[in-house]
Amino acid sequence: MKNVKLLVTQFKTKYWPLFKSLQTTLLLVTGIAGYLSARPEDTSSGRLLSVAGSLFLAIGGSTVLNMWYDRDIDAVMKRTCTRPLAAHKIPPHQALIIGIMTSLFGVSWALLISPLYGVVVFAGLFFDVAIYTIWLKRRSAWSIVWGGISGGMPVLAGRTLATGEIDGIGIALTLAILFWIPTHILTFNMRHFDDYQAAGIPTFPSKYGFQPTRVIIAISSILAALAMGLAAYWVGTSAGALRLLTVLGTGLLILSLTSIARPSNKLNFSLFKFASLYMLVAMLLLVAG
């Protein structure tokens, strides 16, 4: 019994952080929301478990692979230096094996469920690891576009599995996540500017300045709200839910414009949190109808 407890403790402290549970869970929620947005006939616990399991493994696996590749820059950033690989708590080869095997299991499971669903899931993993992290992250501030595309793949995958095709609603949902991602990444780029400079990572604040970055954050937040509102309307979300989204979207618009007119780090972080709240509420309303 003591050995079991010890293994569980080691997993929680050393290996579980590799999966960035909060980030992975948020993307997993979008995938489930995308699936349920189509009102599929099969909403059994077994079906939902298969969708959640395949997405969690694929998303989690790509996260581990990213952390394995970025262990050198994580080590020089105060925000990330305590991560397992950066802090030398886990040998790199172990993390690489975990990332590869988890990713393979996730994509294979997805392909068994549906070939098209599996292709979309694989596309998300490929864009995230190969295009965003390995190829562009250390070369261009515009790498966040590909990071946004990969972030939109779970919701597209869920929607595609339910409908059997890539439809307009799925694309609108993907665009909503794509436009939300800059709000998340660029906020952290400004909040931890010195860290990114020390790691040599090109960012919008370092390339274009803080104020243009704030403008981009505001615009992307508004576009995310518009794309999500359009998707909710197409799905047939109730009038009450659409009114709530409109109210929240108006608040997001006001906060976005204020962040440009009266720039401050505090206000920008408030915009980031409000945009995240908007996206979470929108996903829940999308499922509830």
- Tell me, yes or no, whether 8 lies in a domain: no
The angle, 0 to 180 degrees and rounded to 10, between the axes of the packed helices 143-163 and 21-37 is 40
Report pLDDT for 12.
76
Helix residue ranges, H only, the chain:
2-10, 21-37, 45-69, 71-74, 92-113, 115-126, 143-163, 168-191, 193-199, 204-208, 210-235, 239-261, 265-288
Pair 189, 62 in one domain = no
Chosen domain end from 132, 163, 194:
163
CA distance 274 to 159: 25
DSSP string, 255-280: HHHHHHHS--HHHHHHHHHHHHHHHH
- Backbone phi, then psi, for 247, in 5-degree steps? -65, -45
- Tell me, yes or no, whether 9 lies in a domain: no
Pair 157, 27 in one domain = yes
Report pLDDT for 7.
66
Is the pLDDT score of 3 beyond 70? no
Report the share of the chain in percent with pLDDT over 90: 63
Question: Residue 263: which pLDDT band, with cuts at 50, 70 and 90?
Answer: confident
| Contact yes or no for 117/110 (Cβ under 8 A) | yes
Pair 244, 111 in one domain = no
Q: Which of 5-14, 148-157, 187-196 has the lowest mean pLDDT?
A: 5-14
Chosen domain end from 163, 196, 218:
163
Is the pLDDT score of 112 beyond 90? yes
Pair 133, 175 in one domain = no
Pair 181, 159 in one domain = no
Report pLDDT for 158.
97
Closest CA to 132 of 185, 66, 77, 191: 66
Check which CATH number belongs to the domain holding 194 and give it.
Answer: 1.20.120
Write the pLDDT tens digit of every residue in 51-101: 999 999 999 999 999 999 999 999 999 989 999 999 999 999 999 999 999
Pair 64, 148 in one domain = yes
Pair 98, 232 in one domain = no
Question: Residue 2: which pLDDT band, with cuts at 50, 70 and 90?
Answer: low
Pair 188, 156 in one domain = no
CA distance 255 to 258: 5
Residue written as token pair 């050393």:
14
* Number of folded domains that form the chain: 2
3-state secondary structure of 206: helix
Pair 130, 193 in one domain = no
First to last CA, the chain: 46
Question: Residue 28: which pLDDT band, with cuts at 50, 70 and 90?
Answer: very high
Mean pLDDT over 113-121 rounds to: 98
- Tell me, yes or no, whether 4 lies in a domain: no
Q: Which tokens in the block code for residue 185?
A: 């990444």
Is the pLDDT score of 21 beyond 90? no
Pair 216, 113 in one domain = no
- Tell me, yes or no, whether 5 lies in a domain: no
Pair 199, 91 in one domain = no
Report pLDDT for 221.
87
Chosen domain end from 123, 142, 163:
163
Domain containing 114: what range? 17-163
Question: What mean pLDDT value characterizes the chain?
Answer: 91
Residue 184 CB coordination number (10 Å): 21
Write the pLDDT tens digit of every residue in 229-253: 999 999 888 888 889 988 988 888 8
Pair 121, 189 in one domain = no
DSSP string, 41-81: S---HHHHHHHHHHHHHHHHHHHHHHHHHTHHHHTT-TTTT
Check which CATH number belongs to the domain holding 139 and give it.
Answer: 1.10.357.140
Report the share of the chain in percent with pLDDT over 70: 97
Q: What is the pTM of this model?
A: 0.93
Write the pLDDT tens digit of every residue in 155-214: 999 999 999 999 999 999 999 999 988 888 888 899 899 999 999 999 999 999 999 999
